[in-house]
Amino acid sequence: MKYIIRKIKKSDMNIVVSLLQQVSNFDPKIEFYDSIWKNFKAQKNYYAVVVETNISIVGYGCLSYSMNLRGGKIAYIEDIVCAQSFKRKGIGKAIMKELYDYAKKKGCYKLVLQCKKENKKFYEKCGYQINGICMQKII
């Protein structure tokens, strides 16, 4: 299967938001897309990609990075998603490799992510390990 990985464009939003319904129930109203896109693109330390086949966009992934007090850059992976019909075809691993390569290029010393228990094996296959406990508080 042929595909390309490229930076996300505004015209990708409808498909990507639809794909993201697999990982979260949050579904912004279409009338807010322009504002959301403007704010998303205004961020300095992020990288978001889509996977595109000759048919459609079939995957998405994003990372952001920040510097800690000691000067190290940490990258945070979020929203790795692949269309149901394209799962187990290497799309997710390709996204993870692209994000890893980008973080390395930006001088990050580690990548971190939070995932659901059912996705643990996938991330382990990508070389990630459990390190401590991840906690969150939804606002």
Q: Pick from 17, 13, 33: which is nearest to 25 by CA?
A: 17
- For 17-60, what is each residue's pLDDT tens digit? 999 998 888 888 989 999 999 999 999 999 999 999 988 999 99
Burial class (CB in 10 A: 0-12, 13-18, 19+), 64: middle
User: Of the candidates 124, 63, 64, 65, which has an alpha carbon nearest to the alpha carbon of residue 95?
Assistant: 63
Instruction: For the chain, list the domains and their CATH numbers.
Output: 4-125 (3.40.630.30)
Q: Residue 72: which residues within 8 A CB-CB, separation 6 or more?
A: 108, 109, 110
Q: What is the pLDDT of residues 58-83, one digit of tens each?
A: 999 999 999 999 999 999 999 999 99
Q: What is the end-to-end Cα distance of the chain in Å, rounded?
A: 41
